Structure 1
Amino acid sequence: MLVQLQYIRALAALLVVYFHAILQLRTIDPSAVLGVALFGKSGVDVFFVLSGFVMWVTTSGKPITALQFYGKRIRRIVPLYWAVTLAAAAVALVAPQILKSTVFDAQHVAASLAFLPWINPADPEGRMIAPVIVPGWTLNYEMYFYLIFGALLFIRPRFRLALLVATLAAIAALCSLASMQTTATTFYGNPIVFEFAAGAVLGLLYLRGFRIGTTVAVALAVVSTALLLVFDFLELPHERLLTIGLPAVLIVFAMTSIDFTRVRELRLLRFLGDASYSIYLTHIFVLAGWRMAYSHLPEGILTNQYILVASMLLASCIVGGLVHLMFELPVDRYLSGRKPPKPAAEPAFALAGNNSKLDQSAGS
């Protein structure tokens, strides 16, 4: 188990939560100074790279069939995603004023549950391709990656990576060259899909023992993280694959070159990494609730913009952590037929960390 992967997951999830927290702050107080510090969407690029890395490392050299692979991925991704999707759809139907980015539409709900790209009816311009749970657009890509990756498992590893890249490139090219652009061609033709392939390349290099020195790796991780955040903030008019995707690749490469077995484990960060999928999917509910509660708070309580954003981050982590412990883990154990772990005299976050697996997806 590479504990640094969980650290990266945790920080990537917090970046996404921060990004949406700032958007909520702008809604609450358009004049807030902190509102200009909008960045964090790059967290999903890190998730994509991690996903490719993990998929390659956990399947290479192992006798796993496509059906077994799909089963694990479905068991990992679907239950929680369907639960929050149906919950959001119900809220949109009963109390549409709560979720600003969700409008109930039966076809949209069905497409969301099927992980199909669909125009979100809440977008007045009719351009946003996103499911009921807006951050779930990344899961539509994840399922696309899994579909292709699993189909190639019968190919020898030496050819598998080349075919993976070639397949993604061919589909992206066909989508870009299509005479009529549709929601599907726009979605699957996005170069962001190559972040997954880049992660698989890193997985191949890792298994072959390719590393850089610790000092160089630490420096590369720091510089790459800085570039990621700066380019994220600046929103340069260049291809996202280069401005954000490349730094994300370098971060994962640098972090997997460092031997963390000699460093004391950061259990809380490890747990947040384990719970990153739950945090990612549930934080929009937390932030929406925070926005609604804000107008009813007494003067002086959480009205400080910095405290407000920090409280949003903290609440999202707490709720996501609880969902991870009370829903995600039990459901996964039930569906996989595994028995619950024996009680131990350790904190809850330590228990969750000890039971996490390397093949958890980015969801990431």
Structure 2
Amino acid sequence: MESTQVRTAAPTPTLSTKPHYAILDGLRGVAALTVVAFHLCESHATSHLDQVINHGYLAVDFFFLLSGFVIGYAYDDRWSRLTLKEFFRIRLIRLQPMVVLGMIIGALCFYFQASPVWPGIAAVPVWKTLLVMLVGFTLLPLPVSMDIRGWHEMHPLNGPGWSLFYEYVANLLYALGVRKFSNTALGILVALAAAALIHLAVTSPAGDVIGGWSLDPEQLRVGFSRVMYPFFAGLLLSRVAPLARLKSAFLLCSLLLLLVLAFPRVGGPEHLWLNGLYDSLSIVVLFPLIVWLGASGQIAGEKSSRLCKFLGDISYPIYMTHFPLIYIYTGWVGTHKPTLAQAVPVALLTFGAAVVLAYVSLKFYDEPVRRWLKKRLA
């Protein structure tokens, strides 16, 4: 979810002159597009076991690891001249505009989502929808009593807001203390977080790490477990991993990432813990490997560079604006009950609309607003 930087030379002390990791930008876009496809297929699933693109939910954990890596690379060497206020201002300018737009789009789409999937949705008063939207602007989690959809989401107008809430929590922890950790201390934190994540995945009643979007003790545990290891493992990786020079890294890393996210369910209903082991292996081992390979890679040519830039540019907007369209698609599926094969034309239309909406949001809202905020708050 975080903008990465393209590595073409040795790092220099200032953020503006640091080279970019273009391949990581591209991978973030690949993961974001996979999330859209995963959510479309999810509308047709009867359980976690028969979900197509079965492990697409792990893209969130990949985003967290990418964010930790980029935060470490961008800010670790700047704290001698960077204040907490400046750090938080930069992060808010980068993330908050799309949070606001995502909630507005969710509110505008809310009454077009009427379906048996959400009984009583039409009876929700407008004032309550607006209140949920305004609280959503802040990313403060809403209690279950304010859930106007029935999915127990802390942000029922735009479900993915839950992961941005934890992104902010990780940023706070980094800025307020973890940035000062030695590599040894950070390694201990990462090891403990990995143990907590593995325990969650293996002992989960569903045999996976899905969850984190509700404001209750069980779901809060899931959310914190999912962010603590990958974010701070990414931070540690940015500090200690020596980079190699790899060719065709974008293609290789994209294929590896898609393989991890699309891999079929492991273990079946008889051995749910095996899928928990797969989730653990993916997050703890494979994702750091993919990020390291991507950071070590070289862009092959101008076309690859433009592709990575495009994917990186739309990755955050598509993540923050696609879910209201998914709500509408899910409502349509709940009303008409098509098979996945019958729904392909509508699913493709929704997928394309999500990409177009993300690009329009980027060019006509996110980039102009961030430029204005940078001038206003400089």
Instruction: Verify same fold: TM over 0.5.
Output: yes
| Contact kept? 2:42, 2:52, Cα under 8 Å | no
| Distance across 2 between alignment mates of 1:296 and 1:231 | 28
| Distance across 1 between alignment mates of 2:355 and 2:266 | 23
TM superposition shift of 1:71 = 0.6
| Distance across 2 between alignment mates of 1:83 and 1:217 | 30
Q: Tell me if 1:5 matches 2:24.
A: yes
Please point out which of 364, 367, 371 is paired with 1:326: 364
- C-alpha offsets along residues 29-62 of structure 1, whole Å, 9 cap, x if unaligned? x8xxx97454422221221111011100001222
| Distance across 1 between alignment mates of 2:174 and 2:107 | 30
| Contact kept? 2:106, 2:157, Cα under 8 Å | yes
| Distance across 2 between alignment mates of 1:124 and 1:15 | 25
Partner of 2:106 in structure 1?
Answer: 88
Q: Tell me if 1:20 matches 2:55.
A: no
Partner of 2:346 in structure 1?
Answer: 308
Partner of 1:57 in structure 2?
Answer: 73
> Taking every aligned residue pair, what percent have the same amino acid on both sides?
22
Letter in 1 for 2:41: I
| Distance across 1 between alignment mates of 2:281 and 2:139 | 27
| Contact kept? 1:115, 1:143, Cα under 8 Å | no
Partner of 1:317 in structure 2?
Answer: 355
Q: Tell me if 1:97 matches 2:114.
A: yes
Question: Secondary structure, in 3 states, of the residue corresponding to 1:337?
Answer: helix
- C-alpha offsets along residues 193-240 of structure 1, whole Å, 9 cap, x if unaligned? 21111111221135xx33375589976774564244316687853157
Letter in 2 for 1:142: E
Q: What number of residue pairs does the alignment pair up?
A: 320
Which deviates the most, 77-86 or 322-331?
A: 77-86
5 Å-filtered alignment, 1:162-201, equals 162=187, 165=190, 182=217, 185-187=220-222, 189-201=224-236
Please point out which of 195, 220, 244 is paired with 2:282: 244
TM-score w.r.t. length of structure 1: 0.70
| Contact kept? 2:56, 2:261, Cα under 8 Å | no
Partner of 1:282 in structure 2?
Answer: 321
Letter in 2 for 1:19: F
Which deviates the most, 315-324 or 227-236?
A: 227-236
Q: What residue ranges of structure 2 are gaps of 5+ in the alignment?
A: 1-19, 198-215
Which deviates the most, 260-269 or 161-170?
A: 161-170
| Distance across 1 between alignment mates of 2:253 and 2:179 | 36
Partner of 1:230 in structure 2?
Answer: 263
**Distance of aligned partners of 1:232 and 1:319 in 2 relative to their CA distance in 1, 3 Å threshold:** farther
Partner of 1:67 in structure 2?
Answer: 85
| Contact kept? 1:119, 1:183, Cα under 8 Å | no
Q: What residue ranges of structure 1 are gaps of 5+ in the alignment?
A: 173-180, 339-364
| Distance across 2 between alignment mates of 1:292 and 1:191 | 29
Aligned-pair Cα RMSD in Å: 4.5
| Contact kept? 1:225, 1:251, Cα under 8 Å | no
| Distance across 2 between alignment mates of 1:197 and 1:312 | 35
Partner of 1:204 in structure 2?
Answer: 239
TM superposition shift of 1:257 = 1.7
Question: Secondary structure, in 3 states, of the residue corresponding to 2:114?
Answer: coil
| Distance across 1 between alignment mates of 2:329 and 2:114 | 14
Partner of 1:267 in structure 2?
Answer: 306
| Distance across 2 between alignment mates of 1:240 and 1:123 | 32
| Contact kept? 2:65, 2:232, Cα under 8 Å | yes
TM superposition shift of 1:294 = 8.7
| Distance across 2 between alignment mates of 1:234 and 1:330 | 48
TM superposition shift of 1:190 = 2.2
| Contact kept? 2:116, 2:331, Cα under 8 Å | no
| Distance across 1 between alignment mates of 2:256 and 2:313 | 26
| Contact kept? 1:211, 1:257, Cα under 8 Å | yes
5 Å-filtered alignment, 1:7-156, equals 7-24=26-43, 26=44, 36-62=52-78, 63-89=81-107, 91-92=109-110, 97=114, 112-120=136-144, 121=147, 124=150, 131-152=156-177, 155=180
| Contact kept? 1:279, 1:319, Cα under 8 Å | yes
| Contact kept? 1:118, 1:129, Cα under 8 Å | yes
